[in-house]
Amino acid sequence: MEKEIKEYLDDCARRGFAATTLYSYRKALEKFFNWVGRHYPGIRHISEINRSIVTEYQMHLYKSSSRWGKPLSAETQHRWLGVVLWFFRWMVAEQKLLLDPTSAIRLPRRPQRITRNYLSLKEVQKLLRIPDVCTDGGLRDRAILEILYCCGLRNSELRKLAVSDLNLSDGWLVVREGKGNKDRVVPLGKAAVYFLMLYLEKVRSRWIRNRKTDIVFLNRLGRPLSYDLLIAMVKKTARLAGIKRTITPHGLRHTCATLMLRGHADIRHIQELLGHASLSSTQIYTRVEITDLKKVHAKCHPREKEPIQKK
């Protein structure tokens, strides 16, 4: 079945899917077909997979636990099962299968929760003061935190950021091949420009080993940062700042959007900043603040204009 998976992923690549998306699709499909192989060793071709097998796999996901021993979230179940559904629909569309065994399968509902994975203004200020900018590593980390908070970049977007994509004199940068393989221009605030310039002049110029490397943020060996290293750095800095919640680069992205919303930025401007294809994606990140909602409620609800009858 490797041949069909490769053809599907190649087609997704031609349609502009990002490398990270293709990787997650491959992992989801491998997970499904490995499960099929273990539970139905007699199956030799995809056409032998029927609706009952897919339904059983869906139940398997529902009953499974994460590596931390907790039940898989509806979001995770939706993501892993969704790739399987899209794959089979593609197989039918490409006339590689006559019938789609997933046609009657319904994906789990994704919960619409208000996340706590963002910081208040005071918490951000404490976080930014933690790195020791008198050290090379501290100066690099401060520049990273400033950009994550100022620009709302994703983990992968920050790690791929190139020197040639920076315009420090005018205060902006270009995000290349963001989600959906789309480029976008993002403004850089004064603090982000300041610490980025210091890092480029004092740290990167000495850490770089390969002069052909255009990547902005490097480790001490002159190599691009890894996904896990960036997450670990943000988590550690938040912990040292006395923040009890788990904060990741994505949490700083959410913080950027939430605090801009509190500052009365138009949600469409936030959509452009974050690089969301649709406004609905931005609305998930930027729920209406309860303080603003209370003001509107007090101003507009008829009951708020009536005197209180105490008897």
Q: Which residues of the chain have pLDDT under 50?
A: none
Strands (E), the chain: 166-167, 172-175, 184-187
Q: What is the dotted CATH code of the domain comprising 121-293? A: 1.10.443.10
| CB distance 271 to 282 below 8 Å | yes
The whole-number pLDDT of residue 2 equals 83
Structural domain boundaries in the chain: 2-93, 121-293
The whole-number pLDDT of residue 21 equals 86
Q: Is the overall model pTM greater than 0.85, yes or no?
A: no
The whole-number pLDDT of residue 87 equals 95
Overall fold of domain 2-93:
DNA polymerase; domain 1 (1.10.150)
The whole-number pLDDT of residue 73 equals 85
- Point out the residues that are catalytic: 154, 179, 250, 253, 276, 285
Other CB atoms closer than 10 Å to residue 237's CB: what's the count?
Answer: 22
| CB distance 127 to 145 below 8 Å | yes
How far apart CA 84 and CA 31 sit, in angstroms, is 10
